[in-house]
Structure 1
Amino acid sequence: MTLPSLKDAIRIHGLDAKKSFGQHFLLDPGIVARIAALAGDMTGRHVVEIGPGPGGLTRALLDTKAEAIHAVEIDQRAWPLLDELVAHAAGRLVLTKADATSIDTSGLCPAPRKVVANLPYNVGTPLLVGWLRQAALWERMTLMFQLEVAERICAVPDSSHYGRLGVLAQWCADCTVVMKVPAGAFSPPPKVESAVVDLIPKAEQPSPALFKAMEHVTHLAFGQRRKMLRASLRPIGGEALLEKAGILATRRAETLSIEEFATLARLVCPER
């Protein structure tokens, strides 16, 4: 079967990006090839892709040495186009027709597994937090977000972008912005720039209970980031908790290092 070009496939199926799904299609073959390359050696790996849409990045991933690509797509309008790509891929592309936020994506394939995706803008952050909860199951995550979200993921303390997402991400993985993508590369162009973040999970990962404790601590601390920690952390011990951790009660959330947040999480974790 001869596969039509990406642009022809989109035209044949009358597929256009849908705002309600946070879609912005990435059609530039050079850019999708570079994203696939940024994910590192694919030999023998299973790759999960979320929101393939018309399949531009999917095609680039199929051009690597990956064992198989496991794509998850909620948009029924894209299914016929992707089914054609499945038929062309000779068993190396598996399509799951579902909402990625409602399934365990790690269960789609065996290890070693990676995630490579141009994430829909409206679900990128919750998907990332879900993968961080099970970071030990993933070899690598190479993900595109809005530039502002990418900057939050990689932000350092005492910077304007530093917050809960950056603490959770950098606690579990080494995070690097590896590529910026201009709005004009997408169809339709979003109102903001985008960036690819490479996340490599660390060898040691927190237990589920400790991760939950960190989520709670950072939610309280950054939920009222202008307040001193003695006030924002009052529901979990306030000044007494901070004294145990050796942290001044007058400090604010954005000044704490990730290790200081980890100390607080360990103190409130019920498993300690």
Structure 2
Amino acid sequence: MPTLQIGRKEIPYELRRSAAATERRITVTPGHVEVLALTSDKDDDIAGFLTRKRQWVFNTVREMERITASRHAVPRFMTGSKIPYRGRKMPLTVRRTDADLITTTYRNGFIVDLPHWAWNELDRVVATELKLWMRRRVRRDVKEVATTYGTRFGLVPRSIRVAEFPNGWGSCGPEGNILVNWHLIFAPKQVLDYVVIHELAHLRHRSHREEFWTFLRSISPDFERPKAWLEANQGTLTSDFLIVV
């Protein structure tokens, strides 16, 4: 593993080249430094970049070491925290980056890259970013399910929107406007799909009479399994863990 020599301190780092990268970047997590380079970069390009960033790397690594040494004072949203998502608890990695903007990605867990200006309010910033990412993901998923079933079964709502509301998981208004609770992001994906399909079925049958359930079963034969999961676990689907006081 290559190392960066800063005074008497030797900092090992992982060099990763990416064809998708448009700029060089450094991310720091406890015990690990990653340098992202362009595939076209020569060794001298990378060396020059690291020389320009050497003080930032030194200060950031030292700050990470301080945080790790005083873990009792570490905020809730830190590397190693578990975030509820899709019915599971997924790991969170919070990295300090030399970029100017916050980025949130998901690769078998959440990765939040924070610039220096966001680090002083880590809990609040990470909670806000996770909530925004999850709401965007729910909107995308809901749209995909609605499009699929609208095409296959002619169930086209006037509008479909994701929001937060205290009671219920979805609704279909008399004019065909569908509302879905974004907290379903904390349930398995098939539960979210069930709620969307359930509300779409109300475009054909408004009440919960037998013909509604018969129609729902005809377009979603396995709906009873996610329905039972939701009834048993709905009390656990909350975003309270994202509230920072």
Give TM-score scaled by structure 2 length: 0.29
Task: Report which of the two structures shows the higher radius of gyration computed on alpha carbons.
Answer: 2
Larger strand share, 1 or 2: 2
Give TM-score scaled by structure 1 length: 0.27
